Amino acid sequence: MKTLFILTLSLFVSISASADTDSKKSAKTNEIESISSVENVTAMQIFGVVKDEKSNETLAGATIVVDGKKYYSDLDGNFSVYNVKPGNYEMVVELISYEPITLVVDPVKNQIININLHQK
């Protein structure tokens, strides 16, 4: 009788250990599948120069709004927007005594956007 009890007990232990191993393998497989579905997104940059339309002089202090964030042109009229995802963005450029301008830009590697503002 003891032999039958020990044999039955060892059978249950081996079945539960096997089921636990299978569930761990299944969990690892699901984890690997989730990781492999992550996209590889490259961060892009937008570079540009803000100038006066008539005199072609660069304009410092222009406000550039991209994706709800504000950026400003430097003393040479240059600006840069870092870490944007690929795609189209609406860009609004404003400066006191100039007409605001709205552009749709698509960040492309090494492209410089020339923005010409018209005085009011």
Query: Any idea what the CATH number is for the domain that residue 78 is in?
Result: 2.60.40.1120
Q: Are residue 75 and residue 60 in the same domain, yes or no?
A: yes
Tell me the pTM.
Answer: 0.63
pLDDT score at 39: 58
Q: Are residue 25 and residue 48 in the same domain, yes or no?
A: no
Q: Are residue 84 and residue 101 in the same domain, yes or no?
A: yes
- Burial (0-12, 13-18, 19+ Cβ within 10 Å), 77: buried
Q: Are residue 12 and residue 50 in the same domain, yes or no?
A: no
Question: Which residue segment(s) compose the domain that 8 sits in?
Answer: 1-38
Which strands form 112-117's sheet, in the order they lie side by side?
78-84, 44-52, 112-117
Q: Are residue 52 and residue 3 in the same domain, yes or no?
A: no
Beta bridge partners of 90: 104
Q: Are residue 94 and residue 80 in the same domain, yes or no?
A: yes
Q: Are residue 24 and residue 77 in the same domain, yes or no?
A: no
pLDDT score at 11: 56
Q: Are residue 52 and residue 17 in the same domain, yes or no?
A: no
pLDDT score at 117: 97
pLDDT, block means (10 residues), the chain with 120 residues: 60 56 52 55 85 96 94 96 89 96 87 93
Q: Are residue 23 and residue 62 in the same domain, yes or no?
A: no
Structurally, the chain folds into a number of domains equal to 2
pLDDT score at 6: 64
pLDDT score at 56: 96
Q: Are residue 92 and residue 34 in the same domain, yes or no?
A: no
